[in-house]
């Protein structure tokens, strides 16, 4: 038995491993999409449009590009840690949450301008 198969058999989530893979891939995609939309939104409306205080602090400290890259890499890293621990339902939930509270609002803002 390999270490990989031991990891999968000890997963804490009842979601099958392939579904967990899809959840983390979707999570990473949504993070990139949110980062790109945030970048465009910040250039279009200015830095005061960012509602997340952690992201706006990072942007204020490191600039738009570096601040967004840093916060998105941290988010992706945390999602990967959840995935590697077999906590796939949390990754799936966070993906849906980001779509609802970050991606959709950005898309609506751009669509109405």
Q: Which domain holds residue 102?
A: 17-111
| Residue 40 belongs to a domain | yes
| Residue 103 belongs to a domain | yes
Distance between start and end Cα atoms, the chain = 57
How far is residue 58's CA from residue 66's CA, in Å, rounded to a whole number? 8
pLDDT value of residue 19: 87
pLDDT value of residue 15: 59
Consecutive 10-residue runs of the chain (113 residues): their mean pLDDT? Answer: 49 67 96 97 94 96 97 98 94 97 97 93
Choose among 21, 1, 4, 25: nearest CA to 13.
21
How far is residue 25's CA from residue 31's CA, in Å, rounded to a whole number? 10
pLDDT value of residue 83: 94
| Residue 94 belongs to a domain | yes
pLDDT value of residue 18: 85
Number of folded domains that form the chain: 1
How far is residue 1's CA from residue 108's CA, in Å, rounded to a whole number? 50
């Amino acid at each position: 038995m390999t270490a990989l198969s031991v990891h999968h058999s000890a997963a804490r989530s009842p979601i099958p491993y392939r579904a967990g893979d899809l959840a983390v891939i979707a999570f990473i995609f949504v993070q990139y999409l949110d980062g790109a939309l945030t970048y465009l939104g910040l250039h279009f409306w200015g830095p005061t449009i960012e509602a997340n205080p952690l992201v706006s602090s990072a942007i204020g400290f490191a600039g738009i590009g570096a601040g967004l890259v840093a916060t998105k890499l941290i988010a992706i890293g945390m999602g990967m840690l959840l995935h590697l621990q077999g906590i796939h339902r949390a990754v799936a939930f966070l993906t849906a949450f980001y779509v609802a509270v970050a991606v959709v609002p950005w898309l609506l803002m751009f669509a109405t301008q």
